[in-house]
Amino acid sequence: MHIIPTSRDPSTNLALSSRNAYLSPQEMEVAPVLYRALSTAEEGYSEDGITGEVLIRRAISVVESVQVPEGVDMKVDYFEVFDKETFEPVRGPVGGREVVIAGAVWVGKTRLIDNLLLGWRM
């Protein structure tokens, strides 16, 4: 696999994707929640004893706490923490490991996906 940096909108950090064209203006307002959820998990990565389960719960709680405008549907598809090399899910402690947190959120009929690298950089 060849990993390259994610191109992001400079004002919202929303991953740039052709899928974004399917979002209504109201949906576009809430779409950056996926990046915020992953970033919240990233902030906890260096905490002593933090686990993959905790990072996933933190990401989900960010999405679930968003005030969604009337007429906009949003739901979590998944969040996962996995090992950089083996792609095996990481449920126990993540400290010192090179992992990825990835997620997908449905905003309306559009499935948005994103990920962040934890404990390593390109």
| pLDDT per residue rounded down to tens, the chain (122 residues) | 667 788 999 999 999 999 999 999 999 999 999 999 999 999 999 999 999 999 999 999 999 999 999 999 999 999 999 999 999 999 999 988 999 999 999 999 999 999 999 998 87
CATH of domain 18-118: 3.30.1300.10
Cα distances (angstroms) measured from residue 55 to each of 51, 72, 82, 87, 121: 6, 26, 11, 16, 19
33-44 and 52-64 helices, crossing angle to 10°: 150
- Output the pLDDT for position 1: 61
Every domain of the chain and the residues it spans: 18-118
- Output the pLDDT for position 122: 72
- Output the pLDDT for position 64: 97
Using alpha carbons only, how large is the chain's radius of gyration in Å? 14
Residues 6+ apart with CB under 8 A from 96: 119
